[in-house]
Structure formats: structure tokens, C-alpha cells
Structure 1
């Protein structure tokens, strides 16, 4: 092999780890779509849960042995013609560190709730490091808002780090149908998280209709359940039917899985299904809970 070609190959191999690091987004967007609570409105609610990695932000000295990073996240919902139907910029500041060489720099999260008419959009998040202009990240996700069907249908599934619980505090972005929801970013169940919890909404079920909710966790491209369970419910009157449940992850090994929810009627017929991705990594640390954006 010519020496020049050998040198080029060596440089390419050395660059591979850096390319892999670059491919990992610093900004993560989790999205859940729900039908509008106003049946006269053709559209729905979008809950955007944004998580920013703390590992790659630039930390600035704030005092003797005190360092802090800063970032802004611009969220946009863009129509097919390129115009923005929604845009907002949120400023984030991670906790102050005494040592920037610390191995653990917790990510920071926030949650927004917006309403959109039916249609197709691109949800875009643009992360900017406040102390290093070159450190940016752009994440885009397709967003389809369609709730006009009269058949039974499920919202997106929200993965939770703890059970949905009744809340007496004033309404905020974390409460749906009177339940306080604490998301787990990116569907990650990490160290110490041995239970999976979820929340979803069923639409167009007949009031009082007996229903069976079956849910299972299954590794990708397999036909065997890692863990499964089911519960009984019935159609709610004049509002969505709220669905919650939990699965024991104690014996579930690390890996990527699909959580599938099935709604069956009294004849055991499947009315509708919904899936979402779950990541299990008992060796990793779970991100801290989200904060209300400022």
C-alpha cells in the first residue's frame, strides 16, 4: 500500500471516534400528542420535553471554585411552506459546579405544552451554548396532528419515572386530567429505576364500555415478551379514558425495547394499539427531573 494512502487511512480511522461523538445530539426532544380537550377544535395538544446534555456545555467561572454553564433552546413548529406557527426561546442554566472535571454533569430538562391545528409540521429545536458560539445543535422531528377519526384511538404514550399521581396544585405543564406526570427523558430507565410507568389517553370509546388494556415490553426484532401485564377499564363519559400502568424491570437486561399498548373489547378484539421505544441501562445515571421554563 502506498505510504500516502496508508497515512490517509490512518487519519480516517483516528477520526471515527470523534465523528461518533459528534453524531450524538446534545439536545433531545421527546414529544407526546393529545387530542384537544375542546371537541370543536380540529387539532391537538403537543407536549415537548427537551433535555440538554450537561457534558458538552462550556462552564464559566462564577466565583472562587464556582463554575456554571448556560444555553438557550429555540423551539419551532414549522409548516410545510417553511413558516413557523410557533416559536419560543428558553434560557437554561445547569446547577453550579465546584469542579468542572467532575464525571457527572447532569442534563437539564424543561417541558412546554402548545396547541396546534390538524396538519403536518416539523418540530425543530436549536441549542446554543452561551459561552461558545460554535457549540450548537439542531434536532428536527416530523409532527403529524390528526385526531378527526371517530374510531377508538390512542394518544402517544408518555413514559414516566414514577407513578402518575393525583395533584392538588394549580394547573401546569406537568398535569394532565388531574394527574401529575414525571417523564423519563428519552425513555431511559437507568440505575435504580426498576419500575416502568406510563400514561396514555384513549379517545372515542363508548361511555361505560368494558375494555382490557394489555401492555408488553419486547426487545426489537424478537417475538418473546421481556415482561407483560394487563388491566381492566371502561370508557369514560364526555372525556378521554385515562390509561396508566407499570411494569417491573428488575429482571430486564440492558437494551432497547418496544412498549406496546393494546386496547381490546369484551370479545377480545383489538380496537387500537400504540408503541413507544424504551431504553434500559442499569449502569447509567438517570437525568434529573424537569424544571418549569423561565
Structure 2
């Protein structure tokens, strides 16, 4: 038997907390027999147990019937959705599915489930993946907030699925922010390994705080390459500080997009500018220095080709990388970028890292030169720092980065904080910056104590 199971907790003030369960059974993995209507149908026994300290606190047992069909040439998959009321707590969960027509066919799943909802604190519901939806015309078990939501019971999205749809509820944002006050709801996809935000898959909504809010989100993922990603949901206040965050991982398979870098034969490579790069260490270095401008899949390909130690593969990859950026003159694209790398290495290299490997070097190569730079090396209590100000970055305006040198020596500055989407966001960056002579008694405190001569906050808010 092949079956897929998923669940999501929810909370309604008039019902309390409950677990919504989603089950998909693969039709050709179970038995179908003629029923009293002379139609073929499958019959499964489903048992759910919720235990605490070895004792059953809640259970559900029912018979699940497939849709009726006239013949068995094509056996349809079928779904089931249930709701189970649960008090707050941690449960050991067991799911058992048995084919009533073939008792040797069984499917058993176990997990640990935690429920923790109150009327007094903010919380997210679980995140439900959706296969399809429509407006509710008659209330049924798939109905939620005016829509019938057909669950997508998997965290794997194959090449034939091009819509990524999800549903989530937010409870008591008024207790987190204040009644009717504004907040920002941001949801986006990120690479699960690198944590790089995919800006093409990012949305923002402005909301007013209340006791319940529904987030119904959708992305077209037709051009999303294969990989493991996180769906990230953030709540931010009016100062853009992250108040709460929730993530869920999923896997995408899109083989047709996996070769995003063109491949070239030996003759094409021999007649290109990369033919002169025959030293394998030099070519590795050139590929390494492109990492600041690589997208997610290019990053994977680059590392794979470097590890292969094959000069022809690396030449093909490197040539394709620049053809992708300037089809008519890839050599000019490389030479222009190489000059930027030389400058970054000259300005930001340290004893242990080349300039393009540092945070400042990466930001410079990725976003270009900042419009203004504030450099402070002798501010009382603060580590040496730099504030970079960009008038425009992609579709964002008035964006800043602050780098600091907690080692107090050398030229290696770390990125401490930025308000650019997808970059490091440190809520209490002022206190971290002034940690040089200050004990952080409360590390979550946002503002630093006043320091004689301290101008970091002022310069970050009003760069010049």
C-alpha cells in the first residue's frame, strides 16, 4: 500500500485547538472489489491514536471508501481529511491504515505532535499545501473561510505541478502588536541550504492586527529549478523588525531547468576566450570569484565542476556562465567583472580571505558600489564599522548595510545588519556593535544604552 499523510494544527476561539489530517491513497496500491451498486470500490480501515505517557488520550477509527468506478483499467487516487479536537500538549501519534480486501496490505506512520494555542498569545497555525481550491457553495469537510481547499498531501513538487499554493492562519496579532495597529506580512521562498531569498518568489502584504488573519498564498513555480526550499512567513512591525517567523521545507524537481548553463563542444570551447585558460588552479579561482553573482543552481553547478577537477568541464561551465550574461560578447562581460574583482581584492582582502570572499566584497560584487559609505574606526565603545547606503537595490529604495570588525584588527569586516530583503537582519545590532565595552545583560533588547560619541544609529537612519 502507498499512502501519503500530512497534518496541520489550527485553533478557533469557539472550538478550541484541533488537528486537521490529510491523507492521499494511491489507487493502484490497494484492492478494488464490486460493491452492492455493481461498482468497483476500495475499502480501508483507518485508526488514529494520540498518546501521552503511554495512555491513549484521543483516538479516531473509521472506514475510508474510494470513489466508485465502473472498471479497474484506471484506478484513481483518493483523499481524506479529518479533524480531531486536541487539548494543548505533546502527543505520540500513530496512524494505521489497513486494506479491508487484503489484510496483508498495511501502512503505519508515527510522529510526535505538539499543540499549544491560547487566546492570549500570538501563534501561527500549521501550513497546509493546497492542490486546488474554489469558493464554497455548500459547507463540507474541505471548507475553510469561504473556500473548499483540496489538500496537496506531499512536500514533493514534481515537474508537472507548476502552482505552489498554501494556506495558513495567524492568531492574536493584536496581542503581539496592539489592536488595529499596522504590521507587514511577508512570505517568500528561500534556498533551504544557503538561506538565500528568491526575490522572484516574494510577496508583501500590509495588515491591521486582529484576533485572526488568513494567509492564502500562491506562487507560479514553473521556472523554479530542482532543489530543496523553505516557504518562509514573517511578521514585521512598522520599523521592519521581524517579530515572528515560520518555515516549512519542500522539494522541487524540475529536470528541464537543471541545465541552465549552456553546454559547448570542444570546437566551440577551442574558439572561445576560455581556451587560453589551461591552468586548472587559475580556472578554479576564476570560477570561485563568480560566487557572489551566482544564482542558486549556478552555485551548485560551480561547486560540482570545481570538485570534478576536469579542465574541459570547467571551461564549458565558465564559458556558458558568461554567455548567459552577454550572449554577443561574453568575454567583455568577464573582463568587466574581473576588473571589479581586482578592485574588491585590493580593498577588502584580509590575511585569511580574498576580497571577493569577504562580506563587503560579496555585497559590492552583487549590488555594485554603494552611493555613500560612512567609516568609523574610533567611536567610543563601538567596534570599527562601515555603513553602506544604496539609493536603489533592485526594486527597493534607501537600503543600508552595516559591517563591523569585532577582531579590532586587520581588514576583515563582517556583515552585522541590513534592511535589504534576504540579507542578514539583526534586531539588536546596536547592542552587538557596542558590545566592545558593554555587557549584553538582555541580548534581545533592541536599543543600546547611550554611549558618549556614539553615532551609529543616527548614521544608519540618516546616511550622508
The superposition leaves residues 245-294 of structure 1 with CA deviations (integer Å, 9 ceiling, x where unpaired) of 211201112343221111111111111111223233468xxxxxxxxxxx
Cα RMSD, aligned residues only: 2.9
The superposition leaves residues 79-110 of structure 1 with CA deviations (integer Å, 9 ceiling, x where unpaired) of 3332141222222235537455x6xx442111
Which of 171, 190, 197 is equivalent to 1:203? 171
Compute the displacement of 1:138 (Å). Answer: 0.8
Assess if the C-alpha contact under 8 Å between 1:258 and 1:277 holds in 2: yes
Assess if the C-alpha contact under 8 Å between 1:80 and 1:120 holds in 2: no
Specify which structure has the higher proportion of helix. Answer: 2
Distance in 2, matches of 1:88 and 1:183, equals 21
Distance in 1, matches of 2:67 and 2:216, equals 32
Assess if the C-alpha contact under 8 Å between 1:76 and 1:125 holds in 2: yes
Are 2:220 and 1:251 equivalent residues in the alignment? no
Q: Structure 2 matches for 1:250-269, cutoff 5 A?
A: 250-269=222-241
Are 2:72 and 1:72 equivalent residues in the alignment? no
3-state SS of paired residue (2:154): helix
Compute the displacement of 1:209 (Å). Answer: 2.2
- Match of 2:123? 153
3-state SS of paired residue (1:186): coil
Are 2:155 and 1:187 equivalent residues in the alignment? yes
- Match of 2:85? 115
Assess if the C-alpha contact under 8 Å between 1:75 and 1:87 holds in 2: yes
Q: Whose radius of gyration is greater, 1 or 2?
A: 2
Compute the displacement of 1:76 (Å). Answer: 2.5
Compute the displacement of 1:68 (Å). Answer: 4.6
Assess if the C-alpha contact under 8 Å between 1:27 and 1:139 holds in 2: no
- Match of 1:5? none
Distance in 2, matches of 1:185 and 1:33, equals 15
Distance in 1, matches of 2:181 and 2:149, equals 26
Compute the displacement of 1:244 (Å). Answer: 1.8
Q: TM-score, normalised by structure 2?
A: 0.48
Assess if the C-alpha contact under 8 Å between 1:262 and 1:271 holds in 2: yes
Distance in 1, matches of 2:3 and 2:52, equals 22
- Match of 2:59? 86
Which of 30, 45, 52 is equivalent to 2:25? 52
Are 2:14 and 1:32 equivalent residues in the alignment? no
- Match of 1:175? 143
Distance in 1, matches of 2:71 and 2:135, equals 38
Distance 1:90 1:84, change over 3 A: farther
- Match of 1:15? none
Q: Which runs of 5+ in 2 are unaligned?
A: 256-464
Q: TM-score, normalised by structure 1?
A: 0.73
Are 2:202 and 1:229 equivalent residues in the alignment? yes
Specify which structure has the higher proportion of strand. Answer: 1
User: Quick one: higher RCO (CA 8 Å, sep 6+), 1 or 2?
Assistant: 1
Distance 1:122 1:253, change over 3 A: same
Q: Which runs of 5+ in 1 are unaligned?
A: 1-24, 284-294
3-state SS of paired residue (1:55): helix
The superposition leaves residues 105-126 of structure 1 with CA deviations (integer Å, 9 ceiling, x where unpaired) of 4421110112111111123211
Distance 1:94 1:128, change over 3 A: farther
Compute the displacement of 1:213 (Å). Answer: 1.7
Compute the displacement of 1:191 (Å). Answer: 5.1
Distance 1:149 1:37, change over 3 A: closer
Assess if the C-alpha contact under 8 Å between 1:235 and 1:241 holds in 2: no
Distance in 2, matches of 1:117 and 1:78, equals 12
Count of residues in correspondence between the two structures: 249
Distance in 2, matches of 1:67 and 1:52, equals 16
